[in-house]
Amino acid sequence: MKKCYAHHGRRTACGRWFLALLALVTLFACDVPVKHYGALLDAEISSLRVLDHHPRQFPDIAYVPNGNDFQRLDLYRPAGEDPAPVMVFIHGGYWMSGSRKEYAALAGTLCPRGFVTILVDYRLYPDVTYPAFMEDCAAALNWVMANVADYGGDPDRVFVAGHSAGGHIVALMATHPRFRGMLKFDPLKLRGVIPLSGAYDFVTGNRLDLQIVRQVMVTPENFDDAQPIRHVRADVPPMLMVNGDRDNLTSEPQAAAFAQAMQQAGAPLRYVKIKGGDHHSVVVDMAPGHEGPALRAVLQFMNEQLQQRSDPTKPAA
């Protein structure tokens, strides 16, 4: 399908309506309450109005040499003094759909608060299977650490977050020895890892379509290997996990169980359960005009980490 984006990453009306249709289909497919469709669309369009006039956008940056259109990121630079803290965000979509463009609203929230905001795409199933999307996201983080200073960001103050499949990716990146080894920097250098509505245990307490998950992961060994619950460890960057207690896809109990296992292992992890929140509301909370409890939890966590790490007498947890 031909892309329908205007110059400098601004979306045309065609692009808006395509994303609106895609969002509606996704909401019905995932049994997400329709009330959130309007909120998602409103946030998307209001953010576009903000970002259309944003003077410092850097869209469609290739983060690997000779990569394809999925191996790209968009960078939004805030006004104000450099260097700024950085938020890298990995989109969701069952590892088979979704786009960084659908999460542009996050830049409308985070840039005014002084964060360089980076939205990352990665290759999707069926073009690739596990672990290719993990390799892409590791490459994107390596690009950020090597280059973000050229765009006014501080490589010593980088957070990485993700929603749904993106939450799974960032949690696995923080815990799995193989993917930590792909990073060209010490993963403990990250100021924080923030999975939102992530999948940590594919089987227990979840409503994931396991046939799809098995196709994405290919082999039984990969299916097991790709679950963060299999890689619990203490030596991770500070983590904030956020899940709604009404999440009907990546359930709150499996998230709470992973969080508890990590905490018992000694990991610096905080778990926030959003009362009445579902699979999508936690990310809608972070859009302009829909700033809710998930955003407040994320901002509090990031501000605490920035303050603690700037004071050598305070712990990093």
pTM recorded for the entire structure: 0.84
pLDDT above 70 covers a percentage of the chain that reads: 80
**Residue 310 pLDDT grade (very low, low, confident, very high; cuts 50, 70, 90):** low
**Residue 309 pLDDT grade (very low, low, confident, very high; cuts 50, 70, 90):** low
Q: Of 6-10, 58-62, 311-315, give the range with the top mean pLDDT.
A: 58-62
- DSSP code, position 12: P
Whether the bond between 83 and the residue before it is cis, its omega within 30 degrees of 0, is: yes
Q: Is the pLDDT of residue 2 over 70?
A: no
Backbone angles phi, psi at 27, to 5 degrees: -65, -45
CA distances from 175 to 164, 237, 251, 272, 292 (A): 17, 9, 20, 19, 28
**Residue 45 pLDDT grade (very low, low, confident, very high; cuts 50, 70, 90):** very low
Q: Is the pLDDT of residue 297 over 70?
A: yes
- Comparing CA positions, the residue from 95, 99, 98, 164 lying closest to residue 125 is 95
Among 62-71, 265-274, 307-316, whose mean pLDDT is lowest?
307-316
All domains of the chain, ordered by start, with CATH?
A: 57-310 (3.40.50.1820)
Question: In whole angstroms, what is the distance from residue 49 CA to residue 57 CA?
Answer: 13
Question: In whole angstroms, what is the distance from residue 232 CA to residue 263 CA?
Answer: 9
Average pLDDT score, the chain: 85
- Comparing CA positions, the residue from 101, 49, 108 lying closest to residue 78 is 108
Question: In whole angstroms, what is the distance from residue 224 CA to residue 204 CA?
Answer: 12
Question: In whole angstroms, what is the distance from residue 255 CA to residue 198 CA?
Answer: 7
Give the pLDDT confidence of 89-128 residue by residue, as tens digits: 999 999 999 999 999 999 999 999 999 999 999 999 999 9
**Residue 248 pLDDT grade (very low, low, confident, very high; cuts 50, 70, 90):** confident
**Residue 35 pLDDT grade (very low, low, confident, very high; cuts 50, 70, 90):** very low
Position 170 scores a pLDDT of 99
